[in-house]
A = this chain, B = another copy of it.
Amino acid sequence: MNPDFLLFANRLADISGERIRRYFRKAHGLQLKADLSPVTLADREAESLLREAILKRYLDHGILGEEHGAHKPDAEYVWVLDPVDGTRAFIAGVATFGTLIALAHKGEPVLGLIDQPITRERWTGGKNVPSRLNGEFIATRRCESLNEALLSTTSPDLFAPAEQEAFRRVQAKVKHTLYGKDCYAYAMLASGHIDLVIEAGLKPHDFCALAPVIANAGGVMTGWDGAPLTLHSDGRVIAAATPALHREAMEMLK
C-alpha cells in the first residue's frame, strides 16, 4: 500500500478532530434539537472538510460518508468516513465516540483509523501496517476462550429478536459483558483490554475502519458468517482478540 495513504489519513483526522472539539459539550440545551444540534453540526461540517481534502488530493478516489452520501462508490480506492461514530455518547458528553476513517481497495478495507479527538487517542492499522495507538505498537490480548472473555456491545436494543437470542447465547458463556462503548470498544480490543465485540445493524462507515486496526493487532474481525468485511457486508460483525475466540463465538452465534 502507498505509504502516503496512512499519512493522509492522519491528516484527515487532524482536520476532523479540530472541528469536532468545537462542538463537544457545547450549546447546553440545544443537543436534542434535530437540525441544529452540536452533534449534527460536528458530523456534517467535519465530513465536508474531509471530502474537500480528499477531492483535492486524490481526484480519482471515491468517497462514502455517513452524512453526505456516495461519490464514485465504484472507484478502485474509496474513502469511508464517519466523523462522529457514537452520536449518543457525543450528545451525552462522554468521550467514547470516535472518528472513523477507512480506505477500501476494490471494496475491501485495507487501512483503518479510529480517532478520539477529546482524549487525543488515535489508532491506526492496515495491510502491512502494524496497528498502533498514538504511534506505539499494540496487540490484542491472548484470550482463547469465551469463559475468560470480556464481551462488549453498544446497545442490546440494536439487535433484531433472532440476533438478540444469538447474542444472549454468547453472553451466557463469557466472563463479563459491558455496554455502551461504541467504536471505542473495538479500539480497546485492538489495545488488549477487551476480548470480544459483537454487534449488528452496522453500516460500512461504522465497521470499515475497525477491521484493519483489529486484524493488524493480532485479532480477527468478520461478519457473523466468518466472511471478511467489505463495503457490501450485512452489518453483523464479530471482532475477537484471537482466532480461537473468534471461532468459538461464531459457532455460538449460528
Contacts and interface: CB of A to CB of B under 8 A. Distances in A.
A56 to B, nearest CB: 35
B175 A157 contact: no
B193 A93 contact: yes
Interface residues of A, number: 38
Most buried by B among A148, A177, A180: A180
Interface string A80-97: 000000001101111110
A134 interface: no
A8 interface: no
A176 interface: yes
A72 interface: no
A157 B176 CA distance: 11
The SS class assigned to the A binding surface is: loop
Interface of A: 25, 28-29, 31-32, 88-89, 91-96, 119, 141-143, 148, 150, 152, 154-157, 175-181, 184-185, 188, 191-194
A207 B150 CA distance: 25
Nearest to A178: B88
Contact of A179 (B143, B179, B188, B191): B179
A214 to B, nearest CB: 15
Contacts of A181: 92, 94, 180
A243 to B, nearest CB: 17
B156 A194 contact: no
Given A29-B192, A154-B179, 18 more contacts: A25-B191, A25-B193, A32-B150, A88-B150, A89-B178, A92-B185, A92-B188, A92-B194, A94-B184, A94-B185, A94-B188, A95-B95, A96-B96, A157-B177, A178-B180, A179-B179, A179-B180, A180-B180
